[in-house]
Amino acid sequence: MDERIRYAVEHTELIRPPQQRLATFGSTTMNYYVVTGLAENVSVVRDGKVIAERPRIVTPSYLVKLEGFSEESRKYLSIMAREYPDEPGVFYRYKNQPKEMNVVSESLRQVISKLNAQLEKEPDPLSAIIKGVEELWDVSLLMFIYHLTSKSIHTNVAEFRRRGFLDIDASGVPKDARNHIEELFAQVRRDVSRAPELVAELNRWGLFPEYQDRFFALFRGR
C-alpha cells in the first residue's frame, strides 16, 4: 500500500457512525461530515451526501461488461468470469455529492464536539462524522463507505436470499436481474429516453436477443 494512503487509513476514525444499514430494496442517502486538521487550532469541515443506489445481484460475467473498472480489476473479473461465470454476488454503487468546505479556527476536538451536539438536536440516523486526513480526505470518505458496505452486506444478502433473488435461472441470470429488467421496461414505456439504459442492461446480461421483440414493440405506434 502507498505510504500516504496507509497513513490516511490508519488515522481515519469514524466518530459518529450512521445508525441504520443500507436499504436492500431501495436507495439510501447518507449525510457526512469529514473533519480534518489544517494547522494547530485550524480545522476543515467538508459536508455532503453519499447516495447508495439499490444493491444489485450480479455475476462476474456481468461485471466484465460494466464500465468504470481499472485494467487490473477487469483482468481479475475476467478470470472470475471464466471460473465462476454465474456465481451471484451483491454489487454496490455509490455517488458522492459534496456540498461545502469550511475552514474554522478551532481544534478538531472542538469542531467534532459541536457537530455531535448539532446532530443530537436534529437526530438523523443516516448522518456520520468522520475524522480524516486533510491531504487524502477522500480516502477517509471511502473508508466510511467501506464501513457502511461491510455492516450492511450480511443483512442485504439474507433478505435477497429470503425472497429468492439470488436464484439463478438456466440462462445464468439472477431473479433480481430479471426483476430489474422488468422495472426498466416499465420506465421506458413511460419515458422513451430511458431506452438506452434498458439496452445496456440487456447487453450486459447477453439477453437482448431474448427481449428484442418486446423492446421494439415499445416503439410501435409512437
Q: Which residues contact 147 (CB under 8 A, 6 or more apart)?
A: 14, 17
Q: Note the pTM of the prediction, 2 decimals.
A: 0.83
Q: Which residues contact 114 (CB under 8 A, 6 or more apart)?
A: 106
- Inside any domain, residue 117: yes
132 and 153 in a single domain? The answer is: yes
Closest CA to 139 of 3, 30, 42: 3
pLDDT digits (tens, 9 = 90+) for 137-148: 999 999 999 999
The CA dihedral of 161, 164, 169, 172, to the nearest 10 degrees, is -30
Q: Do 180 and 56 contact (CB within 8 A), yes or no?
A: yes
209 and 107 in a single domain? The answer is: no
pLDDT digits (tens, 9 = 90+) for 3-46: 888 898 899 999 999 989 999 999 999 999 999 999 989 999 99
pLDDT digits (tens, 9 = 90+) for 161-183: 999 999 999 999 999 999 999 99
Percent of the chain exceeding pLDDT 70 equals 99
- The rounded distance, in Å, linking the Cα atoms of 133 and 2 is 15
134 and 96 in a single domain? The answer is: yes
- The rounded distance, in Å, linking the Cα atoms of 37 and 82 is 47
- Inside any domain, residue 78: no
Q: Do 53 and 27 contact (CB within 8 A), yes or no?
A: yes
What's the mean pLDDT in 76-80?
A: 87
- The rounded distance, in Å, linking the Cα atoms of 211 and 181 is 10
142 and 108 in a single domain? The answer is: yes
Residue 222 has pLDDT above 80, yes or no: no
Closest CA to 53 of 90, 3, 98, 14: 90
Total tally of structural domains belonging to the chain: 2
- Inside any domain, residue 77: no
Question: What is the domain extent for residue 118?
Answer: 3-55+92-162
- Inside any domain, residue 18: yes
- Inside any domain, residue 69: no
